[in-house]
């Protein structure tokens, strides 16, 4: 049987009453729940660009606590309330994953949805990562 680690960090809230886990490590696989900009989105009005950066920051924080790096993230599934925001999501991804040398971006899917858990949210991201890969070391 493969050991499972439940990853927690003070940077990404996980309420004791939650009926999900934000992040589990199963072997080399890092499984994460969909992340949103909440609660930062409740404290101020954030654009889709800003929300995307907050979400990607949460993903990075969980991956790093799990023992990985930014390069461990290999796939993103991005849900937006307005498909017209795709360019802002793309800009945030370019800015967030910018590294000194060229490397592949994570694979990605982007879909429009009719709503997210709180009305002010415009983006939610599912991320997939592995401890045994580093896209920043990838070769073309």
Mean confidence (pLDDT) of the chain: 93
Cα angle, residue 89 at apex, residues 116 and 51 outer, rounded to 5°: 55
Rounded to two decimals, the pTM is 0.93
User: In order of start, what are the domains of the chain with their CATH numbers?
Assistant: 4-137 (3.30.1330.40)
Residue among 22, 19, 17 at smallest CA distance from 6: 22
The predicted-structure confidence for 41-86, as pLDDT tens digits, reads as follows 887 899 999 999 999 999 999 999 999 999 999 999 999 999 999 9
């Amino acid at each position: 049987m493969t050991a499972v680690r439940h990853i927690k960090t003070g940077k990404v809230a996980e309420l004791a009453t939650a009926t999900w886990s934000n992040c589990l490590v199963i072997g080399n696989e890092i499984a994460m729940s969909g992340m949103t900009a909440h609660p930062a989105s409740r404290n101020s009005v954030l654009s889709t660009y800003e929300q995307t950066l907050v979400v990607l920051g949460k993903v990075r924080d969980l991956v790093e606590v799990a023992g990985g790096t930014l390069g461990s993230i290999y796939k993103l599934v991005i849900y937006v309330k307005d498909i017209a925001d795709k360019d802002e999501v793309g800009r945030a991804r370019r800015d967030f994953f910018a590294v000194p040398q060229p490397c592949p971006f994570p694979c990605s899917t982007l879909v429009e949805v009719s709503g997210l858990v709180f009305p002010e949210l415009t983006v939610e991201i599912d991320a997939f990562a592995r401890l045994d890969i580093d896209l920043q070391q990838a070769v073309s």
